[in-house]
Structure 1
Amino acid sequence: MSKILKIRNVGDYSQWVGHTDTHPQVSVIDYAEVSPVRHCLNNYSVYGIFFHDEANIDLAYGCGKYDYKEGTVICVAPGQIGGKEDNGEVVNLTGWALLFHPDLLQGTALEKHIREYSFFDYRVNEALHMTNEEHDILVSLMRQIKDELQKKHDALQDAILVGYIELMLNFCQRFYNRQFIIRKLVNSDMLMKFDQLLRDYYEEKIQLTSGMPTETFL
């Protein structure tokens, strides 16, 4: 039976990796400050955004797998399961994690439309792979949220944190859209080449001597 860590709040994950939180509903973790850490397969009741600067880990996500490499972003939502089951291995990681509890969003505009961010959907069958520029943007936002968390709590802090989180989510959506467009263009280019191969095959009447085109020819 799989060992699953229940992440009921941000503190559950922080405790696992050895991080101390300053806010009950938001956590920003710089893995370089807590490594080495052990793997964990998590059942989330919080939202999370994770990326490692150097990683080559086969992670579970829902019923599928992610090949988690450098520059890969994993986004999870409450009710989802993801990670890698603890096998006793200790690994050194560099990168960042942002976790926030749904209660933080109560009464905000983000609460109403957070489900619209496509990358939280289990049906997304590929991870987000960042460019160097995109990586630097997310790291900058992580640092800003971390800096805000270290300030004394006041009446505006939660609103500021939600603002930063929404900004990060919007950037992630932009990056996903960019990746989708590139993938669509690549697929379109492949279809055009495939179509041209078939046209040439029949125009040169190769089918009369070789029969129908095979996978080897294509």
Structure 2
Amino acid sequence: MSNVFRINTVGDYLRLRNQEILHPLVGIVDFDKLGEEPYSNRDYDAFHYNCYAIFLKDAKGCKMHYGGKPYDYDEGTLVFVAPNQTIQLGGFDPDYVPKGYAMLFHPDLLLGTELGKKMHSYSFFSYSSNEALHLSAKERKVILSLFEKIQFELEQNLD
């Protein structure tokens, strides 16, 4: 992989997607609301993350390798990435357009919290996992509601 985009902060990813940074440690992207992006899906071979990322994938037409293995995911699935992990992309359909949502959060958000101490135990953030979490319609509604609530909080005036 010669052309890897490094995502060291949530802001790096939001700038890549031409999105406003509302908080330095948390960001949500609704791919349906993206305007013109400053890059093409084919500009990079891979993305190296130094933050957590959760993607709700709503489009077909993109293949992914995670931890050197093909990652089993399809439309309507959740994909999880932990810090210091790389996703290799490829096999794009000619008319592929990303659809769905991304939520990124920096590990510093969890410093000193019980959740921060337990993150390593959530295997879906691990390279050893090569399957996305397939969602039922009800589960999808719950996830979308959570993303919406987090986005609402991000858009509020700072206290």
- The TM-score range, normalised by the shorter chain, is 0.7 to 0.9
Per-residue CA deviations over 1:123-170 (Å, capped at 9, x if unaligned) read 11322111111111111100000000001122xxxxxxxxxxxxxxxx
In the other structure, the counterpart of 2:29 is 29
Name the aligned partner's letter for residue 68 of structure 2.
C
Q: For the residues of structure 1 that align with 2:24 and 2:88, how far apart are their CA atoms?
A: 22
Is 1:93 matched with 2:98? Answer: yes
Note closer, same or farther for the CA distance 1:102–1:72 as it changes in structure 2 (3 Å cut): same
Contact 2:8 2:49 in 1 (8 A): yes
Contact 2:66 2:130 in 1 (8 A): no
Equivalent residues in 2 for 1:27-176, closer than 5 Å: 27-34=27-34, 38-39=40-41, 40=44, 41-84=46-89, 91-154=96-159
Structure (1 or 2) with the greater helix fraction: 1
TM-score (norm 2): 0.87
Larger Rg: 1
Name the aligned partner's letter for residue 153 of structure 1.
L
Instruction: Report the Cα offset of residue 54 of structure 1.
Output: 2.2
Structure (1 or 2) with the greater strand fraction: 2
Identity %: 38
List gaps (5 residues or longer) in structure 1: 155-218
Instruction: Report the Cα offset of residue 105 of structure 1.
Output: 1.0
Name the aligned partner's letter for residue 18 of structure 1.
N
Secondary structure, counterpart of 1:29 in structure 2: strand
Instruction: Report the Cα offset of residue 53 of structure 1.
Output: 1.7
Per-residue CA deviations over 1:33-88 (Å, capped at 9, x if unaligned) read 11565324211100000022222311121111124321121100011001416x8x
Q: For the residues of structure 2 that align with 1:65 and 1:72, how far apart are their CA atoms?
A: 15
Note closer, same or farther for the CA distance 1:14–1:101 as it changes in structure 2 (3 Å cut): same
Name the aligned partner's letter for residue 49 of structure 1.
I
Say which structure, 1 or 2, has more relative contact order (CA 8 Å, 6+ apart): 2
Q: For the residues of structure 1 that align with 2:25 and 2:154, how far apart are their CA atoms?
A: 11
Secondary structure, counterpart of 1:84 in structure 2: strand
In the other structure, the counterpart of 1:17 is 17
